[in-house]
Amino acid sequence: MPLRERTLSASLAAVAAAALLSTAAYLPTAHAEARSAPARTATAETATAKTAAALPEHALVGYLHASFANGSGYVRMADVPDSWDVIDLAFGEPTSTTSGDIRFDRCPKSECPNVESEDEFKAAIKAKQAAGKKVLISIGGQNGQVRLTTTAARDAFVRSVGAIIDRYGLDGLDIDFEGHSLSLNTGDTDFKNPKTPVIVNLISAVKTLKAKYGAGFTLTMAPETFFVQLGYQYYGSGKWGGQDPRAGAYLPVIHALRDDLTLLHVQDYNSGPITGLDNQYHSMGGADFHIAMTDMLLTGFPVAGDKNNVFPALKPSQVAIGLPASPTAGNGHTTPGEVNKALDCLTKKTSCGGYATHGTWPALRGLMAWSVNWDSFNKREFSKNFDAYYRR
């Protein structure tokens, strides 16, 4: 697949299949291509994260291809439809894997002929915020590998992410660490007390940013199922080694930051089959997968099957379901009818099929989509269905 297309890929399937012998091959998300980033002059505007408005009761989150073009087309910030309550700017990427120095470069006119000017972009962000929307910088993506292996990298992350937030007056941060960004060192088996530097330093960096911007700071995360729900079966390299050390590696981050976390929207796409709380495999593409994966987050689960080491449930208001916005956006596209079945089951306990949820959660926050651009390309089927479901 040409990199220009920037659809979601399956580059780590062989690695995961070899590392987790009894787990189906995992197909991770490819949100964005890595790019070199020239030095940026320090900036300008005062941070506004601390004054951010609350999310609506049911929210729609979308990634905006702000730094690149692809087959879905460039969407100017001012033209983002009002359906989107949280707009994640894709992507801030590091100058090198371990530098911690994050740069956000807007799409050049050579790639995006209709790209707006810097001033127009900033003005459009302010207009969205005035209309009650949140605009975040999303860090990572498929090729934006971020490994904060040292305290120096941690501090560089805090400085550089803060500079991006201040420059554009953003509401907060989305962590979209994928690939090999997060992994657990051998012997690091307790998600409540992580020891691995890349985990500990990320937690510390985010807490520092939260403290800087205050209670209104919006923090979201978009991990893949491999790094979250797979933790029900496998955690890191395991007590005896030999497993993929990335398995469940987001769990200590989520747990340590749960009191600061606004939204967790796991990517329910580009995934191999995952075992649910019914101890059955569930495959992407239909309501069943979203029901089973979300039930795990809202119920909690024993990590690596250890009933003495349970990952606690998140609040339903902290959880959204992540999906591709169109068939061309990624593997695991779910039709509107199946999306609605999943929402019905989780919020009303109807249309559940063969899966028995462990509760009913009418306060489930909503949906996330990759992406605003792919939804617009697909005549806004995804966002219009969300608005119709919640009668917005």
**What is the structure's pLDDT at 53?**
55
Q: What is the pLDDT of residue 350?
A: 97
Beta strands in 77-212 (DSSP E): 86-94, 102-103, 134-141, 172-177
> Which domains are seen in the chain, by residue range?
3-389 (3.20.20.80)
Give mean pLDDT, residues 113-127.
98
Q: Locate tokens 């941690």: which residue?
A: 154
pLDDT at 24 exceeding the cut of 60: no
* Dihedral pair phi/psi, residue 93, rounded to 5°: -130, 155
Cα–Cα distance measured from residue 163 to residue 41, given in angstroms and rounded to the nearest whole number = 10
286, 370, 287: which is closest to 325 by C-alpha? 370
Residues 6+ apart with CB under 8 A from 307: none
Choice among 16-25, 91-100, 114-123, 266-275 with the minimum mean pLDDT: 16-25
By percentage, how much of the chain surpasses pLDDT 70?
86
Axis-axis angle for helices 118-130, 151-168 (nearest 10): 80
Strand duo 218-221 + 263-267: pairing = parallel
**In this predicted structure, what is the pLDDT of residue 244?**
97
Q: Which has the minimum average pLDDT: 17-26, 150-159, 297-306, 379-388?
A: 17-26
Residue-wise pLDDT for 54-109, tens only, equals 899 999 999 999 999 888 999 999 999 999 999 999 999 999 999 999 999 999 99
Helix or strand holding residue 281 (H, E): strand 281-282
Residue 316 pLDDT > 70, yes or no? yes
Give the model's confidence band at 13: pLDDT under 50 very low, under 70 low, under 90 confident, else very high.
very low
Calculate mean pLDDT across residues 262-269. Answer: 98
**Is the pLDDT confidence value at 22 over 70?**
no
At residue 41, the pLDDT reads 33
**pLDDT at residue number 245:** 98
Q: What share of the chain is helix, strand, coil (3-state, %, to 5)?
A: 30, 15, 55
Q: Is 178 one of the catalytic residues?
A: yes
Q: Which of 33, 93, 116, 178 is catalytic?
A: 178
